[in-house]
Amino acid sequence: MTEQTLWNRTRQAVYDEIARTAMGLFLAHGFEATTIDEIAKAAGISRRSFFRYFGTKEDIVLGDLAAKGELARVALEARPDDEDPWTALRQAFHAIKDVAYDGETMLKVTRMMYETPSLRARHIEKHLQWQASLLPEVRRRLRADATDPLDVRAEALVACAITCLDVAGEAWARSNGAVTLPELFDSAAAALRP
């Protein structure tokens, strides 16, 4: 085991501990009511150390959303070449599983995200990163010319698929998890293309 690997593992452990501590505070006191100083104190670190791991409070809640976008890209590229782009996107999104929290905690986190303006804005920003990541593969599947500014088909497909996922997430939170997220996503996607 190399020192770099040990350093990376140690850094990840500290990152995870800060995130767990912060999420506990957010769920107990509310996102906006919890300060970075309170998180740092509860985690046993300085404010300065907090910023070595997270750029903002929002990144604690949504930090791995960008990584999930990368998983979606990999899943999309792995779909069969003869699959149409819309079906490939839908199936790629189904391949992403969120197992960071139990169901009840995930519902609380999801509600907090949709009810907090700064989290909602950051969520949209992360989904724009997803869009940029997914576009090349959708363009390839459409045989679209990436240099043609008027060919908006790939952008439209990716944006619609991401919006379906977002709408499904919000509905899942409203339903208290009574209907699964994949079912809601499929329902939203089928409204656009049965």
Calpha distance 29→33 (Å, rounded): 6
> Of residues 14 and 88, which shows the higher confidence score?
88
Calpha distance 178→76 (Å, rounded): 28
Longest CA span, the chain = 54
- Number of domain units in the chain: 2
Is 91 found in the same domain as 41?
A: no
Under a CB-based contact definition with an 8 Å cutoff, are residues 32 and 114 in contact?
Answer: no
- The confidence band for 4, taking pLDDT boundaries of 50, 70 and 90, is low
pTM of the entire predicted model: 0.83
**Residue 36, domain extent:** 3-55
79: which residues sit within 8 A by CB, 6+ positions away? Answer: 87, 88, 91, 92
Q: What is the pLDDT of residues 116-152, one digit of tens each?
A: 999 999 889 888 999 999 999 999 999 998 899 999 9
Is 114 found in the same domain as 32?
A: no
CATH assignment of the domain containing 136 = 1.10.357.10
Is 70 found in the same domain as 49?
A: no
